[in-house]
Amino acid sequence: MSDRLAIFSVVCLLIAGCLTPVTQAQGLFGRSPAKATLLSQQTSIQPGQTFLLGVLVTPDDGWHTYWINPGESGLPTKIQWELPAGFNAGDIQWPTPHVFEMGGILGLGYEGPALLTVPITAPRQITDDSLTIKAQVSWLVCKEACIPGRASLSITLPVKDVTPKVDPANEALFKTTLTQLPKPLAADEQSVSIKDRKLTITLPTMALPHAVFHASDESLIELGSEQEVTVKGKVTTITVALSMYAPKTITQVRGVVVANPHDKPPKAYAVDAAVKP
């Protein structure tokens, strides 16, 4: 199947899938090859505090879902929150992705279960004894073909003005996921520059000879393009050509540096830096 035909098929599936009201995880022709579950790290909500919810997306064996930058094709998982008044949701904390190939097309994402954690901030004043938080979740799951899925999820938690306890049923999953998230880098641990249509990332405090950079913006660089990595002492420099679709003006670069893609689980670092003039 050509890339154009594959993309056209996915679009058709997405459009058709939007025509049917959904109350549980499903695909266009019945059950989706992936399911989604809404989980809480803690057993209650404390007014004025931030807590973690997570959408666990679990594909069937051999299927995969996508990162915020899906690569050459695909779509990232999306979460649309329905929050009680005064609550605010942060951004998805994406686990470190890996590269996979399907029909000669490279993608970025997850072949197994992926817990997408999101910080939720509660207002200082809550009059209810319990609250329900809802989420509309959509994803694309691929194997030989790609099938969109979606689910209407909800979770109800009591409101208690005490420090919440960690939910023992979800403790291990959240702990493992948070431990394996890309480590944020301080300002002096990263720098980014662009010259002659080449992006250079410098990590001045670590030696990573097998490092690979994945940009959050899918138009910034080509997935699979050659990356030049040089290490001098504890300074690692990664240089890669910009994509032909990269914006003419780039002021901020975000993404992850994977220390060694062959490690399981891989160690990764979150890059978020202004482009040096």
Domain CATH for 20: 2.60.40.1250
On the question of pLDDT at 115 being above 80, the answer is yes
Give the integer Cα–Cα distance in Å for 93 and 109. Answer: 13
Q: pTM above 0.85? A: yes
On the question of pLDDT at 18 being above 60, the answer is no
Least confident piece of the model among 17-21, 60-64, 155-159, 209-213: 17-21
Number of domains in the chain: 2
Q: Could you say which of 179, 197, 228 is where a domain stops?
A: 179
Q: Do 18 and 141 lie in a common domain?
A: yes
pLDDT in tens, 183-197: 999 999 999 999 999
What residues are paired with 52 via a beta bridge?
Answer: 119
Q: Do 68 and 175 lie in a common domain?
A: yes
Q: Are 267 and 185 in contact (CB under 8 A)?
A: no
* Cα–Cα nearest to 42, from 158, 204, 154, 166: 166
Res 30: pLDDT: 53
Q: Structural domain of residue 165, as residue ranges? A: 3-179
Q: Do 200 and 142 lie in a common domain?
A: no
Mean pLDDT value across the chain: 90
Q: Which two tokens stand for residue 171?
A: 């403790």
Question: How would you classify the pairing of strands 146-158 and 130-142?
Answer: antiparallel
On the question of pLDDT at 131 being above 60, the answer is yes
Res 7: pLDDT: 46
Res 160: pLDDT: 97
Q: Do 146 and 217 lie in a common domain?
A: no
pLDDT, mean of residues 164-174? 98
pLDDT, mean of residues 257-267? 94
Q: Do 175 and 187 lie in a common domain?
A: no
Res 28: pLDDT: 45
Q: Which two tokens stand for residue 132?
A: 């329900």
pLDDT band at 103 (very low <50, low <70, confident <90, very high): confident
| Length in residues, the chain | 277
- What percentage of the chain has pLDDT greater than the value 90? 85
How far, rounded to the nearest angstrom, does the alpha carbon of residue 29 sit from its chain's CA centroid? 26
Q: Do 241 and 117 lie in a common domain?
A: no
Q: Do 133 and 39 lie in a common domain?
A: yes
Q: Do 164 and 191 lie in a common domain?
A: no
Q: Do 81 and 131 lie in a common domain?
A: yes
* Cis? peptide before 247, omega within 30° of 0: no
Least confident piece of the model among 12-16, 49-53, 254-258: 12-16
Long-range contacts of 26-29 (CB under 8 A, 24+ apart): 26/149, 26/150, 26/151, 27/141, 27/147, 27/148, 27/149, 28/147, 28/148, 29/147
Q: Do 90 and 191 lie in a common domain?
A: no
